[in-house]
Amino acid sequence: MRLRIVILGSGGYVSTPDRGFPSIIVDLGVGYYMFDVGEYTSRQFFKAKLNPHKLKAIFITHRHGDHVLGLPGLIINLYSAGVTGKGSIRVYAPYWCEKQVRELFLNYGGLRESVILEYNFFREVSGGKPVYSDDYVEVYAMEMEHSVPSVAYKLITRSSGKVIVYSGDTKPTSRIIDFSSGADILVYEASFSEGEEDLAVSLGHSTVKHAIEVAAKAKVKKLILFHLGLQKFTNKRFNVGRLEVIVPSDLDEIYV
Ligand SMILES: [Zn+2]
Ligand SMILES: [Zn+2]
């Protein structure tokens, strides 16, 4: 089974002409798993020519707007594209952001469309038991350290045992190193530039340097820098020792 990651938005809390708000798709061929759903995710989803009927679940890391505000627009557009079964789109989020996620629809007229949603607010945030499983994958959640409660997710494929970890927003911690140990792919936030480490940590974020340190300590195979700000990169791919680092652009596809 060929596994692909589609970067819908590679930016952070400020979007730029080149980078939209955070969202990625993990595509197993048989279905898609979405992580975070920032504004414009719907537009990116259709631009990437993804199949609306293949979206199995949406995983939200935390309540900040850059990670959730695209949900109502996405649901309304999926409904318009023919996804109509009750509860056919499953949304997973830690229990502490239940109120904010449920209230997202209050400012939209799409209450009819919202029936295609099924919410799952889970309490297992220590990576112990999966918060989601189906015939193809298991997904685990682990609490991170951010300015508000937030989780990282780990997706493990049943057939090939591939491991993809998505950090969400966090400062560097031993927990993300343990959680992503040996992963095939780590998608890790690098909100700030090298040299801004103190500022980043004080705001519950990480820098490019932090991302590389975490990935190297966890011995992951590939690091995808994510939640990027205004940093300028000269190369889209580079190596730090044995670690391969990818600087994605929106709508990039990365094969695992
Ligand atoms: Zn964010
Ligand atoms: Zn945040």
Do the beta carbons of residue 192 and residue 218 sit within 8 Å? Answer: no
How much distance in Å is there from the Cα of 227 to the middle of ligand 1? 7
Model pLDDT for residues 26-52, shown as the tens digit of each residue = 999 999 999 999 999 999 999 999 999
Q: Which ligand is nearest to the CA of 37?
A: 1
Q: Which residues belong to the active site?
A: 66
Three-state SS at 67: helix
pTM over 0.75: yes
How much distance in Å is there from the Cα of 107 to the middle of ligand 2? 21
Q: Which ligand is nearest to the CA of 227?
A: 1
In tens digits, the chain (256 residues) has pLDDT values of 689 999 999 999 988 889 999 999 999 999 999 999 999 999 999 999 999 999 999 999 999 999 999 999 999 999 999 999 899 999 999 999 999 999 998 887 767 888 899 999 999 999 999 999 999 999 999 999 999 999 999 999 999 999 999 999 999 999 999 999 999 999 999 999 999 999 999 999 999 999 999 999 999 999 999 999 888 899 999 999 999 999 999 999 999 9
Three-state SS at 129: coil
**Dihedral sign from CA coordinates of 157, 40, 14, 93:** negative
Domains and CATH numbers, the chain: 4-255 (3.60.15.10)
How much distance in Å is there from the Cα of 135 to the middle of ligand 1? 31
Rounded to whole angstroms, the Cα distance separating 186 from 216 reads 10
